Chains A and B, each alone.
Chain A
């Protein structure tokens, strides 16, 4: 079945550092790929998404590119802030399923120190 693997956390960085959180997936066909963020005490929020190969999703300075050849969707940000501290989840939904049946990675806790 479909699966998502994220780099293990926790990840601790200093403010203004460069961030990469790796995400790889296994799926048949062409899934849609997502990054969700969960701030303390809040529900998951969609951060960005990409629905086809070579698409780049971006939001709030974060970017991720859908790489079919490496089955990856790594999250990057050039300069992190303390407010970016949260848990980040990579996810996919199967081809043709739209926003149905999300399969999540295990989550990566990110802490940014001032």
Chain B
């Protein structure tokens, strides 16, 4: 089945530094990837939609200059948390959208496959 990996799985950094998280689709190409943030005992909140070869689309309230997204290839998207602060500590999850079929006579079918997440702790 489709596999999405994230690296690192956890990271601790000092306040003011930047951290890069990678999201890779291992056995399929993904023109679209998504980045979510999950607080303890809370739901996943969509941060942004990452499109290969174009700028990411950010959800309302997400600072695009703080959370830099680069989708440089069909299998890799990166999220860089710039000038991290303790309030940025969270669990970051990516997903990659896979095309399953259809499109000519009917609607196209897609499915999102999720990475295992990255735990970021800013001290």
Query: A-side interface residues toward B, CB under 8 Å?
Result: 4, 36, 41-46, 89, 98-107
- In the assembled complex, B42 has its CB within 8 A of some CB on chain A: yes
Chain A residues lying within 8 Å of B107, measured Cβ to Cβ, are 98
Complex alpha-carbon distance, A103 and B111, angstroms: 14
Q: What mask results when residues 25 to 51 of chain B are scored 1 for a CB within 8 Å of chain A, else 0?
A: 000000010100000011111100100
Docked-complex contact B46 and A99, CB < 8 angstroms: no
Q: A99's contact among B45, B93, B110, B117, by CB below 8 Å, is which?
A: B110
Q: For A46, give the chain B residue with the smallest CB separation.
A: B111
Docked-complex contact B114 and A44, CB < 8 angstroms: yes
Complex alpha-carbon distance, A54 and B84, angstroms: 46
Docked-complex contact A100 and B116, CB < 8 angstroms: no
Q: What mask results when residues 101 to 121 of chain B are scored 1 for a CB within 8 Å of chain A, else 0?
A: 000000111111111110000
| B42 → A minimal CB distance (Å) | 6
Docked-complex contact A102 and B46, CB < 8 angstroms: yes
Given contacts A43-B93, A89-B43, A106-B41, A98 and B4 within 8 Å (CB-CB) = no
